[in-house]
Amino acid sequence: MNWLRVAKARYVTRKSFILFLLFTVCSLSVLIGQSSKIRQLKNLVVNRRGLKAAPTADVDQENTQYYAYIPVPRKTEEFFDDLSPTVYVITPTFRRPEQIPELTRLGQTLRQVKNLHWIVAEDAQVLTPVVRTTVEKMGIPYTLLVAPMPDEYISKPGHKPRGVSNRNAALQWLRSNNITEGVIYFADDDNSYDLELFEEIRKVKKVGMWPVGLVTKFGLSSPVVKNGKIVGFYDGWIGNRKFPVDMASFGVNLSYLSKFPNISMPFSPGYEETGFLRALNITKDDIEPLAENCTKILVWHTQTKKSKPAEKAAGAKHNNTNIPFLLDQIL
């Protein structure tokens, strides 16, 4: 019957139209909800971190280049909370076969820590693309800087002031962006870090210290603590240093650091730590013994085995295989 077919067709059309309408309304409301949630999260990060806008590239130290800054990490809510001060981890690094594995390991540790900003400062003439991609993929807030060791130290025989120009570039970057809240920590790229360490660093009110494992022939460098007070230092090489400690053994609160606008690390091999700490105008009494009164080792000076540059032995028979791609990625 013709009228029945028409009615059926109409009925089906109306039914699918209603269904279509319902589906559209639901999807739209989900979409609107999502985008406002994303907007909220972005604002949250910017506000929580007290950064109204991304810091500028105004690093005026000669030889220093500002490169990149990402204020909003991939999984925003995982990386920030309201309560704790931000830890600014300053990592000097330089090109060598172990560099990318070191930065990968360190970055994968840091991405598990909340309220953390990673400043990776390269001792290089220009930023190394693979360093950038390695740091970026961690999905945490970061800054990349480039500050090569000055020529006068490169050509000088003997020990070199390793990582000094680049650490200084990081201090300069913090200053030029008026970052005066949080705690700084110098984390070399070749150490091993317990996640608990970063929660200790956060506690630093002025200058805090803790033990470091695998340093010198003593296998340990630590403040000596008696009745809750630092009374001396235990280290395999005292070397007439006022503060015979390792670079990984201390953190400084930025509100205190910012009282010393001209502070920098000296280019004196072996005396970088003590020189920097002396410039902070502190005595043993001012230093906070952390990591449960310096009874826990939460960082180790592991020193990765050095690898020789690879012999790139691929011949023509490897053309059109994966090998040329791999060779481009190693040193």
Residues with a known catalytic role? 273
Rule CB under 6 A: is residue 239 a binding residue for ligand UGA?
A: no
Which residue lies nearer to ligand UGA by CB, 160 or 203?
Answer: 160
Which of 177, 272, 275, 291 touches ligand UGA (CB under 6 A)?
A: 272
Rule CB under 5 A: is residue 190 a binding residue for Mn ion?
A: yes
Rule CB under 6 A: is residue 162 a binding residue for ligand UGA?
A: yes
Rule CB under 5 A: is residue 272 a binding residue for Mn ion?
A: no
Rule CB under 6 A: is residue 251 a binding residue for ligand UGA?
A: no
Contact pattern from residue 85 through residue 124 relative to ligand UGA, giving x for each residue in contact according to CB under 6 A and a dash for the rest: -------xxx----------------------------x-
Which residue lies nearer to Mn ion by CB, 123 or 188?
Answer: 188
Segment contacting Mn ion (CB under 5 A): 118-126, 185-193, 213-221, 232-240?
185-193
Residues 27-86 that bind ligand UGA (CB under 6 A): none
Which of 166, 177, 221, 222 touches ligand UGA (CB under 6 A)?
A: 166
Q: How far is CA 242 from its chain centroid?
A: 28
Chain residues that interact with Mn ion, rule: CB under 5 A: 188, 190
